[in-house]
Structure 1
Amino acid sequence: MSQAGNALGPFSQGELKKKLKAGELSYTDFLWHEGQESWRMLAEHFASDFPPPKEPPPGISVSGEKKLIERQFGGETFAQDLGISNEPIWFLFRDNTKFGPYRYLELVRLLQTNACGPDDFIWKPGFDDWTRLRQVQEFEEPVLHKLVHLRNFGTEKVFIQRRFPRIPYESEVILHDEKRVVFGSARSLSEGGAFLEVAKTTHQKGDRIKIHFTPGAVAVPFNCIAEVTQVTKGPPMGYNVKFIYLEEDDRKRISQYAEGVVARSEGAK
């Protein structure tokens, strides 16, 4: 390893991962191992470690004997109002990629924020095949209209009057698309996306990229998969991105931080 000009090591693969997780090493540090012609960054060496979207089991057509039975727990079900389970049983198929499992409210949130659309395909245990979201009873307009008026299960955060508040944010980021690694800085952040400043734009609108956010005001580093929604030629030069895949724990941390910033800003008025 080479860190700030100092040689470290040798380390095993497992030791490197532990040091990265503990913050003792950075993805921008350089690595060399036997058989390698030159030094390269840890971000390139561990590129395959960026988490891919979770996928449902292959062979989505399920026989009657193997159909999973939805568990109906009082704390996880809208039984009294809608009779819809909020267990994590929903899968989404979009842009030739399978995502999930999601809870019902999580999928509604994706629909409300345009992260998925009525013509995307969804599946849950009991379905014979993928079905367009708009054709599924749980997502029909009358059902969603009833859901708006519920005050349980965080529904007030699902049906929003505007997109997630984008707040100023500072953090180093690493962008990766399986072919190249680009370094930049996050300049704003929300649970729905971010603006990333880069020295030179190398991607186009619609491109999918993997992003590693180093610790900032959100103290825990996190990875995500995002789609470029706008390329800005600057200044500053960079990308507006929409999060396609983000771990729920990371989304909650971002949401809590953003809500705190907005609350402090409104309190100062």
Structure 2
Amino acid sequence: DYLELPEPELFELLHLHRRKIVQWFETAQGSYADFNAALRAVHRQFAMMETKLEEDVEVDVNGFYWGVLGDGVAGRYALVGTETKKTPRRVPIVSREDAEYWVEVDVQLLQVIIRGQHVQPLEAHMSEDRDVSTLLHVDPAKAATMQSAVILNLEAVQLRELVSRPFRLQRWMEFTGLPVIPDLYDRYYDLEDLEDEEEWVGALFEPVRRAFFVAPTCGDKDYAFYMSAEAAQAEATVAMLIGVHPKAPGQVYKEVVLFKHHRC
């Protein structure tokens, strides 16, 4: 539809010139500039189709550089990353197992493959962000049409890779609450109750506790700390304590890790 050319005629044209196109790309690998110029032109075309931009809007893909997929099949090339001053001016060879590249162009099949879970328009909470529109020099309405590869979806963070620009966008979720204290930490920390084998725990932690976690330095009440039975083992060299905020009982507010041999 974009070329206003029937698909059968398009693929017939490709079939007639496929070998010459692949041979040109294979020969162009000797020239970093020519090789990348050709693939950047391809990238620019499919990026404009994906982002549904007007014809007079230029998509800047000059920040990317490409490499050869070294799987023994000619005509397969991958977007390696963002070009910097330290990027070697030679065409690299990458493998399918490499996590570095995320866009693949197969000249043999006239196919573009974008790695990631799937491709989708940039979500509103990212496209409408002022930093995004300022950095990309686009208004929020245009940013909302930009396609992105879904790289990561976790509870605390989302990661998107833009198809048309050399940028990755991260969105960190708002902190919603404290985790519950694990059952393992069932001993209340008290300097007088420590076993002989645990004296080093008190020697390391007590100065810190008195300096930062005792009222009135930390508020109206002292922080409570809990430890596990494993700290009492004679061979233990690492101890971990859980700190509880006076206003958030039963929840982890601080984690303290002590190293016996490092004295910290």
TM-score (ref. length: structure 1): 0.24
Q: Which has the higher strand share?
A: 1
Q: Which has the higher helix share?
A: 2
TM-score (ref. length: structure 2): 0.25
